[in-house]
Chains A and B, each alone.
Chain A
Amino acid sequence: MNRWWLLPGFALLFAVHLAVPLAPLDALDPETARLILVELRLPRTLLAIGYGLSLGMAGAALQAIFANPLASPDITGAASGGALGAVTVAYVFGLSGAVAMAAGGAVGAGLALALLFVVAGRNAPPARLLLGGLAIALAAGSATALLLALAPSPFAFYEMWRWLMGSLADRSLPQAAAALVPALSACALLWRGRKAYDLIALGDDVSASLGIDPRRLATRAMVLAAIATGACVALCGAIGFVGLVAPIAARALVRGHPGRAILPAGVLGALLLMGADLLVRFAPAGREIPVGVVTSLIGTPLFILVLLRARGMAGGLR
Chain B
Amino acid sequence: MSATFADLAVSGRLTTTSLSLDPGAFVALIGPNGSGKTSLLRAMAGVDGTASARTIAGNALEAMGTAARANTIGLLPASRMLAWPIPVRDLLALAPVAPENDQIGQLVERLELASLLDRPASHLSTGERARVLLARVLANEPDLLLLDEPLANLDPYWALTILDLLAEEARGGRMVLAAMHDLALVDRFQRVVLMHEGRLVADGPPSRILGCEAFRTAFRLQPHEGGWQPA
Interface residues of A (CB under 8 A from B): 67-68, 123, 195, 198-199, 201-203, 205-206, 208-212, 251, 255-258, 314-315, 318
Contacts and interface: CB of A to CB of B under 8 A. Distances in A.
A38 B77 CA distance: 56
Interface string B50-93: 00000000000000111001100101010101111111001000
Given A195-B96, A202-B94, A256-B120, A208 B47 contact: yes
B45 interface: yes
Nearest to B65: A211
Among A195, A210, A258, A314, residue most surrounded by chain B Cβ atoms (within 10 Å):
A210
Given A201-B84, A203-B81, A258-B84, A209 B69 contact: yes
A118 B165 CA distance: 43
Interface of B: 42, 45-48, 64-66, 69-70, 73, 75, 77, 79, 81-87, 90, 94-96, 120, 122-123, 136, 146
Nearest to B67: A210
Contacts of B82: 201-203
Nearest to B47: A208
Nearest to A123: B83
B66 A210 contact: yes
Contacts of B120: 256
Contacts of B85: 256, 315, 318
Contact of B46 (A203, A209, A318): A209
Contact of A255 (B66, B81, B90): B90
A212 B66 contact: yes
Given A211-B64, A211-B65, A211-B66, A201 B94 contact: yes
Contacts of A314: 123
Contacts of A198: 94
Contacts of B122: 315, 318
B91 to A, nearest CB: 8
10 contacts: A202-B136, A203-B77, A203-B82, A208-B45, A208-B47, A208-B48, A256-B120, A257-B84, A315-B122, A315-B123
B69 A210 contact: yes
B149 to A, nearest CB: 13
Among A206, A257, A258, A318, residue most surrounded by chain B Cβ atoms (within 10 Å):
A206
Given A67-B83, A251-B84, A199 B123 contact: no
Contacts of A251: 84
A210 B94 contact: no
Contacts of B75: 205-206, 209
Nearest to B76: A206
A203 B122 CA distance: 12
A257 B90 contact: yes
B45 A205 contact: yes
Contacts of A255: 86-87, 90
Given A202-B94, A256-B120, A209 B45 contact: yes
A68 B85 CA distance: 12
A210 B136 CA distance: 14
Nearest to B140: A210
B77 A205 contact: yes
A172 B96 CA distance: 43
Given A210-B69, A256-B86, 20 more contacts: A67-B83, A67-B84, A198-B94, A199-B95, A199-B96, A205-B45, A205-B47, A208-B46, A209-B45, A209-B46, A209-B75, A211-B46, A211-B64, A255-B90, A256-B84, A256-B87, A257-B86, A257-B90, A258-B84, A318-B122
Contacts of A208: 45-48
Given A208-B46, A211-B64, A257-B90, A201 B69 contact: no
A315 B82 CA distance: 10
Among B45, B64, B84, B95, residue most surrounded by chain A Cβ atoms (within 10 Å):
B84
A318 B66 contact: no
The 9 closest A-B pairs by CB, nearest first: A67-B83, A209-B45, A208-B47, A209-B75, A205-B77, A256-B86, A256-B85, A256-B84, A201-B84
Contacts of A206: 75, 77
A260 to B, nearest CB: 9
Contacts of B81: 203
Contacts of A211: 46, 64-66, 69
